[in-house]
């Protein structure tokens, strides 16, 4: 049996200075070649907090056109012509030119009756029109 100690071998050595130098060179290369511009795919306008009160809801006049072509401005019946509708709209708007006209036409109402309401709104000086619809169950 051989009880002599074995000769010690040189342990492998890792040179950390060279390793750190290589990592710094890679880091500098990545920093120089990186583009720092941000491209947004969607421009958003986020709301901001304000202490101002909410604006008053705009004036609106409801105009109903039934299947027979009769026109109701609010709860009052209007005449058949565009001039009569314009007078009724001007009275319902109380002189407010920013008042919105909401047209609610029956599905069987003629196109001409709706166009007459639009012409009456133009004659009354009320350019803001809105058409409201609703779906019928089963269709």
**Domains by residue range for the chain, with CATH:** 60-131 (3.30.420)
| Rounded CA separation 73/95 (Å) | 15
Phi and psi based region of residue 69 (left: phi greater than 0; alpha: psi -120 to 50; beta: remaining): left
Q: What does residue 104 show for φ and ψ, rounded to 5 degrees?
A: -120, 105
Q: How confident is the model at residue 133 (pLDDT cuts 50, 70, 90)?
A: low
| Rounded CA separation 38/134 (Å) | 44
Q: How confident is the model at residue 97 (pLDDT cuts 50, 70, 90)?
A: confident
Confidence check: pLDDT of 40 > 90: no
What is the H or E stretch that residue 63 is in?
A: strand 60-65
- Position 103 scores a pLDDT of 92
- Position 131 scores a pLDDT of 87
| Rounded CA separation 101/48 (Å) | 31
Confidence check: pLDDT of 26 > 90: yes
State the pTM of this model: 0.56
Residue pLDDT, tens place only, 41-89: 667 788 777 777 777 777 889 999 988 888 999 888 888 788 899 999 9
């Amino acid at each position: 049996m051989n009880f002599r100690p074995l000769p010690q071998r040189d342990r492998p050595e890792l040179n950390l200075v060279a390793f750190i130098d290589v990592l710094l060179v890679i880091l500098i290369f990545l920093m120089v070649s990186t583009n720092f511009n941000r491209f947004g795919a969607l421009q958003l306008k986020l709301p901001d907090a304000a202490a101002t009160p909410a604006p008053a809801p705009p004036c609106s006049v409801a105009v109903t056109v039934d299947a027979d072509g009769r026109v109701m401005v609010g709860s009052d019946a209007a005449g058949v012509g565009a001039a009569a509708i314009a007078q009724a709209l001007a009275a319902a708007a109380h002189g407010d030119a920013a008042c919105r006209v909401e047209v609610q036409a029956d599905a069987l109402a003629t196109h001409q009756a709706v166009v007459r309401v639009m012409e009456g709104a133009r004659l009354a000086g009320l350019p803001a029109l809105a058409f409201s619809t609703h779906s019928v169950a089963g269709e």
